[in-house]
Chain A
Amino acid sequence: MEDEGEPLAPRDITGAAMSDAPPIHIDGLVKRFGHTVALDGLDLSVSRGEVHGFLGPNGAGKSTTIRVLLGLMRADAGRVELFGADPWRDAVPLHRRLAYVPGDVTLWPGLSGGQCIDVLARAHGGIDETRRDALIARFALDPAKRSRDYSKGNRQKVSLIAALAADVDLLILDEPTSGLDPLMMEAFQSCVRERQAAGCTVLLSSHILAEVEALADRVSIIRAGRTVTSGSLADLRRHTRTRVRAVTERPPEGLDRPGVGDLAVGAADGGRVDVRLSADADAVPAVVAALERAGIHTLTVTPPSLDEVFLHTYADGGAPAGDAGDAGDGA
């Protein structure tokens, strides 16, 4: 008990002095479990009103980061601030401003889904009743079923509805759609957009890239407990190579330049030339110009898919050059 200072009254945290503070600011967070180093100097910054995608391979430390942010676990080192306050010390007043959906939802088996939502709402100190009912309808949840009889997706919905119906400034969602069908994922996405429009900030941890692509303004990718990269989706795309395939009349010249890789030139039908390469975003105009000079017969330019962005970062931990992220050490 002695560790816990007197909890701040809500106004201390919602007050003017704190209102400028970013919803989430993490700097050099370290968390160890015995000899396992789960978080190894992680950075994460989420500004007001954005939906922030939080990505990383299994075991990267996403859930651990979220638990530290919720004051459920204690940081071993580093600075962690939620609305400018310490999430461990000020857990109770901070939690009035946020709602959380865990990846693995366990409910009270004897209570119905509707009862579980009410219990969670009560714990939260009240939710918007109209929104609660609207969400139940939207997610097609049968609230009169005992929660032990629910399917996995329906248990997830209970927790989602309780969180989305709460009037909060910050939503922390840890793989919130695991187990939801595509229709429900759509419903989830539109709900999140509505909450964002109402001024809510969202931290969204997810493995579903399409979902992140559809919702997130910015993303942070972590690996082995460290932030690998962080930025807008457009930024990330810029750092991955565009694939170019062309058939030209003559062998192209001037392709052997910085920013171009995987260059393969072969013969095509009718004495034409088959050219394949990948190019950095900056090099694409020059490449296209060079191909143009060689007389383009056909040309396909494929921008990097998000999947490629992530596969690239997950697999070798290489940060796309130049961005805020430092390269993972691959430990």
Chain B
Amino acid sequence: MSRWGLDAMLAVQLRTAWRTIAGWVLGIVAGMVVTVTALRGTYGTPEEIAAYARTVGTGPAIRMLNGNVAGIDSFGGIVANEFGFIASFALPVMGIALVCRLTRREEEAGRLELLLASPISRHAPLTGALVITVAAALATAAGCAVVMIAEGVAGRSAVAYALAIAALVIVFAGLAAVAAQVFEHTRAAWGAALAAAVAAYVVRGVGAARETPLVWASPMGWFDEVRAMGEPRWWPLAISLAAATALFATAFALAARRDLGSSMLPVRRAPARASRLLVRPFGLAVHERRGAIAGWAGAAVVVMAMYGLLARQVVEALRDNPTLRELRGIGADVGVDQALAMFALVLAMVMSGAAVQLAGGWRRAEDDGQVEIELAGRGSRVRWLGVQAVVVAAGLLVIGFAGALSLGVSVAVSMGDAGIVARTLVACAAYVPAAAVMLGLCVAAFGLAPRLQTAVWGLFAAAVVVGYLGPGIGLASWVVRLSPFAAVGKVPSEPLARGGAAALVAAAVVLTAAGIAGFRRRDVPTG
């Protein structure tokens, strides 16, 4: 081991990334704690559990969102179903984040050059990332198992579910490991791995809603097919394990062939002159963010198309299912508007996530010294941050419009009613203030407390959990309303909550102004 320098590599990786690693493990276990304890209060008796099973049961809508959860007639099944939506995104992102953080990011920054000039094998960074990610996935699994067992989920089921959690993390870690060899920049590796995660979610969603074998084409399908809360099966875990092994083996083979700092893609040349647009602050900012904006827009289009094409089944399931309506806080008069409200809410979450991610680029630019260079020019600070915020805001509108159009058209196709397109666009527009407030938070953090900018992700996660799960897990309605996603009301099934929307817009304006004011005063760069 030490002959390869793996112990030294692990020591460096743990020492420099332990916060990130611990954050992911604790964050996901905390999500499980919130879900399980809240559900315990709501579904305490066998009758309540049976009612959930009867009603939520096997509706295609919920399967599409959360996967096909086995053993829904047990408390564990309810937990798995409610945790399913978060698991579908948070677990893959955990695997991707850890591997990118430990490999390509360090290589891109140049820190691996120093380390690999020591007696550390060129395989050590990837091996270390593999060891740490597997350990973190198992720690997360152990934590979740303990929480579930403590709240009365059967031991065998809890262990099976926990192992499925670990397996899902590890498969996407393997995918990210390959992406980190193929792409030269961390951002591109992230984007590719996330695109794969979205594709896996869509494939699983379509397969689960229609109950076809298509689910086997997605790692999230393997996750569901363990059927932890029903009669657990262990062999789907072997599929995940085999896939992860193949992916990591590929990553190692690629890493063994290439130069440090290089990628598998050929070196490309770029224009020698900047275009007229690029030399303006606005054009430069657009150039910096356009790839990410296009990626988010693509993801929004794909996910919304999947939701929309299954709209008819969702509406029928909602009509037959009072408990699901109650869970999602939907009134009795169920129609397509209720389904639209659910989908538009998810689109608002996508836009908000995009806001936090795009604004994260400002901080990176500051660390890299670009902000200094740009501020040393003629433009003022106010203008710089203003331009950046406008570009991100415009990007969010592009993402939102693309997603809404995709949703409207696909719902119209599914329901056979062309008039729905316009209604969908109007409905989605109502959620724009929620995304605006997220952007405002980012500007405020960047201007006033730049070191805390990554903490905005925590606020985002909290808003998503409260907004999506809040009604179902029995949070008080005033708490739910605190989430920007719930504050505008359930448009279009309910009228727009004007007060809530106005409050969000006001908050966005105040936060942005405060952030810009703070940026005028603070040091650049603030380390």
A118 (CB) vs chain B CBs: closest residue = B15
Q: Would B256 and A4 count as touching, CB distance under 8 A? A: yes
Chain B 250-269 interface 0/1 with A at a Cβ cutoff of 8 Å (1 = within): 00110011111110001110
B255 (CB) vs chain A CBs: closest residue = A1
Q: Would A107 and B119 count as touching, CB distance under 8 A? A: no
Q: Would B3 and A72 count as touching, CB distance under 8 A? A: no
Chain B residues with CB below 8 A from A74, complex form: 257-259
Instruction: State whether A1 and B253 are in contact (beta carbons under 8 Å apart), knowing that A7-B121, A146-B527 are contacts in the complex.
Output: yes
Query: Is B109 engaged at the interface, CB distance under 8 Å to the other chain?
Result: yes
User: Which residues of chain A from 282 to 309 have a CB within 8 Å of any chain B CB?
Assistant: none
Whole-angstrom CA separation of A48 from B207 in the bound complex: 68
Shortest CB distance B103–A (Å) = 15
Q: Would B110 and A104 count as touching, CB distance under 8 A? A: yes
Interface centre among B15, B123, B257 (most CB of A within 10 A): B15
Q: Would A1 and B121 count as touching, CB distance under 8 A? A: no
Q: Would A100 and B114 count as touching, CB distance under 8 A? A: yes
Interface centre among A92, A99, A149 (most CB of B within 10 A): A92
Q: Would A109 and B256 count as touching, CB distance under 8 A? A: no
Shortest CB distance A156–B (Å) = 12
User: Which residues of chain A from 64 to 117 have a CB within 8 Å of any chain B CB?
Assistant: 67, 70-74, 91-93, 95-96, 98-100, 102, 104-111
Query: Is B9 engaged at the interface, CB distance under 8 Å to the other chain?
Result: yes
Query: Is A256 engaged at the interface, CB distance under 8 Å to the other chain?
Result: no
Whole-angstrom CA separation of A91 from B115 in the bound complex: 12
User: Which residues of chain B from 109 to 168 have a CB within 8 Å of any chain A CB?
Assistant: 109-111, 113-123
Shortest CB distance B192–A (Å) = 21
**Partner-binding segment picked from A120-128, A190-198, A200-208, A209-217:** A120-128
Q: Would A125 and B256 count as touching, CB distance under 8 A? A: no
Whole-angstrom CA separation of A119 from B114 in the bound complex: 11
Query: Is B4 engaged at the interface, CB distance under 8 Å to the other chain?
Result: yes
Chain B residues with CB below 8 A from A99, complex form: 117
Chain B 1-27 interface 0/1 with A at a Cβ cutoff of 8 Å (1 = within): 001110011011001100000000000
Query: Is A269 engaged at the interface, CB distance under 8 Å to the other chain?
Result: no
Shortest CB distance B323–A (Å) = 48
Chain B 432-452 interface 0/1 with A at a Cβ cutoff of 8 Å (1 = within): 000000000000000000000
Instruction: State whether A95 and B119 are in contact (beta carbons under 8 Å apart), knowing that A108-B111, A111-B16, A123-B9 are contacts in the complex.
Output: yes
Interface residues on B, range: 35 or more
Query: Is B367 engaged at the interface, CB distance under 8 Å to the other chain?
Result: yes
Judged by DSSP, the binding face of A is loop
Instruction: State whether A125 and B119 are in contact (beta carbons under 8 Å apart), knowing that A102-B114, A105-B114 are contacts in the complex.
Output: yes
Instruction: State whether A67 and B3 are in contact (beta carbons under 8 Å apart), knowing that A95-B119, A100-B114 are contacts in the complex.
Output: no
Whole-angstrom CA separation of A204 from B60 in the bound complex: 68
Chain A residues with CB below 8 A from B120, complex form: 92, 95, 123
Shortest CB distance A126–B (Å) = 10
Q: Would A2 and B111 count as touching, CB distance under 8 A? A: no
Q: Would B8 and A2 count as touching, CB distance under 8 A? A: no
Which of B110, B117, B119 is the one whose CB lies under 8 Å from A106? B110
Chain B 367-389 interface 0/1 with A at a Cβ cutoff of 8 Å (1 = within): 10000000000000000000000
Chain A residues with CB below 8 A from B116, complex form: 70-72, 91
Q: Would A73 and B260 count as touching, CB distance under 8 A? A: yes
Instruction: State whether A96 and B527 are in contact (beta carbons under 8 Å apart), knowing that A2-B253, A34-B266, A109-B367 are contacts in the complex.
Output: no
Whole-angstrom CA separation of A100 from B111 in the bound complex: 13
Q: Would B527 and A100 count as touching, CB distance under 8 A? A: no
Which of B15, B252, B253, B259 is the one whose CB lies under 8 Å from A72? B259
Chain A residues with CB below 8 A from B266, complex form: 34
Chain A residues with CB below 8 A from B119, complex form: 92-93, 95-96, 123-125
Chain B residues with CB below 8 A from A110, complex form: 16
Q: Would A102 and B113 count as touching, CB distance under 8 A? A: yes
Query: Is A253 engaged at the interface, CB distance under 8 Å to the other chain?
Result: no
A105 (CB) vs chain B CBs: closest residue = B114
Which of B3, B12, B15 is the one whose CB lies under 8 Å from A92? B3
**Count of chain A to chain B residue pairs whose CB atoms are closer than 8 Å in the complex:** 111
Chain A residues with CB below 8 A from B257, complex form: 3, 74
Q: Would A123 and B256 count as touching, CB distance under 8 A? A: no
Q: Would B256 and A3 count as touching, CB distance under 8 A? A: yes
Q: Would B259 and A108 count as touching, CB distance under 8 A? A: no
Q: Would B259 and A123 count as touching, CB distance under 8 A? A: no
B268 (CB) vs chain A CBs: closest residue = A34
A66 (CB) vs chain B CBs: closest residue = B117
Whole-angstrom CA separation of A99 from B117 in the bound complex: 7
Whole-angstrom CA separation of A321 from B262 in the bound complex: 39
A121 (CB) vs chain B CBs: closest residue = B118
Q: Would B118 and A124 count as touching, CB distance under 8 A? A: yes
Chain A residues with CB below 8 A from B109, complex form: 106
Chain A residues with CB below 8 A from B122, complex form: 4, 71-72, 91
A36 (CB) vs chain B CBs: closest residue = B267
Which of A1, A34, A92, A123 is the one whose CB lies under 8 Å from B267? A34
Query: Is A159 engaged at the interface, CB distance under 8 Å to the other chain?
Result: yes
User: Which residues of chain A from 33 to 85 have a CB within 8 Å of any chain B CB?
Assistant: 33-36, 67, 70-74
Q: Would A95 and B3 count as touching, CB distance under 8 A? A: no
Chain B residues with CB below 8 A from A105, complex form: 110, 114
Q: Would B121 and A108 count as touching, CB distance under 8 A? A: no
Query: Is A276 engaged at the interface, CB distance under 8 Å to the other chain?
Result: no
Chain B residues with CB below 8 A from A131, complex form: none
Whole-angstrom CA separation of A1 from B11 in the bound complex: 22
B257 (CB) vs chain A CBs: closest residue = A3
Q: Would B256 and A1 count as touching, CB distance under 8 A? A: yes
Q: Would B111 and A123 count as touching, CB distance under 8 A? A: no
Which of B8, B113, B256, B527 is the one whose CB lies under 8 Å from A122? B8
Query: Is A245 engaged at the interface, CB distance under 8 Å to the other chain?
Result: no
Q: Would A7 and B15 count as touching, CB distance under 8 A? A: no
Whole-angstrom CA separation of A104 from B8 in the bound complex: 23
Q: Would A72 and B5 count as touching, CB distance under 8 A? A: no
Query: Is A25 engaged at the interface, CB distance under 8 Å to the other chain?
Result: no
Whole-angstrom CA separation of A64 from B177 in the bound complex: 26
Query: Is A148 engaged at the interface, CB distance under 8 Å to the other chain?
Result: yes
Q: Would A91 and B121 count as touching, CB distance under 8 A? A: yes
Q: Would A92 and B253 count as touching, CB distance under 8 A? A: no
Chain B residues with CB below 8 A from A9, complex form: 3
User: Which residues of chain A from 119 to 148 have a CB within 8 Å of any chain B CB?
Assistant: 119-120, 122-125, 146, 148
Whole-angstrom CA separation of A3 from B121 in the bound complex: 13
Chain A 299-330 interface 0/1 with B at a Cβ cutoff of 8 Å (1 = within): 00000000000000000000000000000000
Interface centre among B114, B253, B261 (most CB of A within 10 A): B114
Which residues of A does B touch, CB under 8 Å? Answer: 1-4, 7, 9, 33-36, 67, 70-74, 91-93, 95-96, 98-100, 102, 104-111, 119-120, 122-125, 146, 148-149, 159, 172
9 smallest A-B Cβ distances: which pairs?
A34-B267, A100-B117, A148-B527, A106-B110, A73-B259, A123-B118, A72-B260, A95-B119, A124-B118
Known A67-B259, A70-B116, A93-B119; further 13 A-B contacts with Cβ < 8 A: A4-B121, A91-B116, A92-B120, A96-B119, A106-B109, A107-B111, A108-B111, A109-B527, A111-B16, A122-B11, A123-B8, A125-B119, A172-B117
- Residue pairs across A and B with Cβ atoms less than 8 A apart, 5 shown, are A34-B267, A105-B110, A119-B11, A122-B11, A123-B8
Which residues of B does A touch, CB under 8 Å? Answer: 3-5, 8-9, 11-12, 15-16, 109-111, 113-123, 252-253, 256-262, 266-268, 367, 527
